[in-house]
């Protein structure tokens, strides 16, 4: 069967990745002859600059400002991009998603679209995407954001409750669950100068060839209760327990990222301290937990 390019124009540098949806580069967005031929009425641009638009342009457009950098936060754009694409598709309209090369930024948006539409894992969505456009390759920061998106949308429907809750060690307030964890592979290279035995750990990691998931630190997606606290000047700060009677320092956040003790850069970083939290089976010993929580609240009131 002929490819989309063969059926239309050898110079068209986009690929059809789903019904009504194409993924391409900057050149494809300006190939108006083929865009008209394919009846592409919507264009979603993901670039660090807004390209010029012809004066007689009749297409519906959405622009997302994004740089192809690991630390750029594209995750916050996934839902609005999905709505733009889905609105067009639901009306049987055709959409082109593009960035500069159609490999990283726009591919990340396309992958998130497939994940949400078909309830796919990151791995399955990426395999599906690459079967249509084999050059797609999101940078590592975007890949981490897609994996976070997977955790958000792929909670098992047959699971009545989550298996692990992470609680404030002082007051027993639930901070997050195992679904909220952000995992990363152990890094290689130098460690923070303050990390214990950093030189020895760095040597071990540099010699390690297989890929192993890091279990040294606790990083999560942004907890729902952690809102409107960001220091806009520094984009980092302390994370306090949300229990107003406790407010123990349970971790740190950094919107520009933080290096794990394994030497891997995590971005954005919501980092909880193992010494400040307990991992507990959900709903286990609930009566004991209730008494402990009540006792902590009484102690807090007596200190006021």
With 0-12 / 13-18 / 19 or more C-beta atoms within 10 angstroms meaning exposed / middle / buried, residue 109 is: buried
CB-based contact 128:136 (threshold 8 Å):
no
Distances from the Cα of 260 to the Cαs of 36, 148, 149, 218, 278, in angstroms?
A: 49, 17, 21, 9, 20
Please list, in sequence order, all residues whose beta carbon lies within 8 angstroms of the beta carbon of residue 221, skipping any fewer than 6 positions away.
Answer: 148, 151, 152, 180, 182, 270
Least Cα distance to 175 among 238, 244, 243 occurs for 243
The CA distance from 63 to 46, in Å, is 6
DSSP state of 58: -
Give yes or no: 260 in active site. no
- Phi, psi angles (nearest 5°) of residue 228: 55, 35
Using CA atoms, how far residue 134 sits from 127, 144, 156, 301, in Å, is 9, 20, 30, 61
Q: Considering the candidates 33, 99, 168, 280, report the single residue annotated as catalytic.
A: 99
Q: Which residues are catalytic?
A: 99
């Amino acid at each position: 069967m002929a490819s989309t390019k063969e059926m239309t124009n050898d110079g068209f540098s986009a690929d059809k990745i789903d019904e009504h949806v194409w993924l391409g580069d900057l050149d494809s967005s300006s190939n108006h002859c083929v865009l008209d031929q394919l009846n592409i009425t919507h264009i979603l641009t993901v670039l660090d600059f807004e390209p010029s638009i012809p004066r007689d342009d009749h297409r519906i457009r959405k622009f997302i400002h994004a740089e192809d950098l690991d630390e750029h936060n594209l995750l916050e754009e996934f839902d609005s991009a999905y709505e733009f694409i889905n609105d067009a598709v639901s009306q049987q309209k055709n959409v082109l998603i593009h960035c500069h090369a159609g490999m990283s930024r726009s591919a990340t948006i396309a992958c998130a679209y497939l994940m949400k539409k078909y309830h796919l894992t990151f791995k399955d969505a990426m395999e599906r995407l690459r079967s249509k456009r084999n050059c797609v390759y999101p940078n590592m920061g975007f890949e981490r954001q897609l994996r976070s998106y997977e955790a958000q949308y792929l909670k098992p429907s047959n699971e009545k409750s989550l298996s692990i809750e992470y609680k404030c060690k002082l007051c027993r307030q639930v901070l997050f669950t195992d679904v909220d964890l952000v995992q990363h592979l152990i890094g290689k290279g130098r460690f923070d100068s303050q990390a214990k035995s950093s030189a020895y750990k760095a040597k071990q990691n540099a010699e390690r060839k297989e890929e192993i998931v890091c279990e040294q630190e606790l990083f999560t997606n942004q907890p729902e209760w952690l809102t409107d606290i960001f220091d806009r000047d520094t984009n980092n700060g302390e994370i306090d327990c949300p229990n107003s009677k406790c407010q123990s320092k349970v971790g740190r956040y950094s919107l520009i990222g933080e290096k794990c003790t394994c030497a891997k850069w995590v971005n954005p970083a919501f980092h909880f301290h193992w010494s400040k939290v307990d991992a507990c089976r959900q709903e286990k010993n609930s009566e004991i937990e209730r008494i402990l929580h009540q006792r902590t609240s009484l102690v807090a009131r007596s200190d006021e």
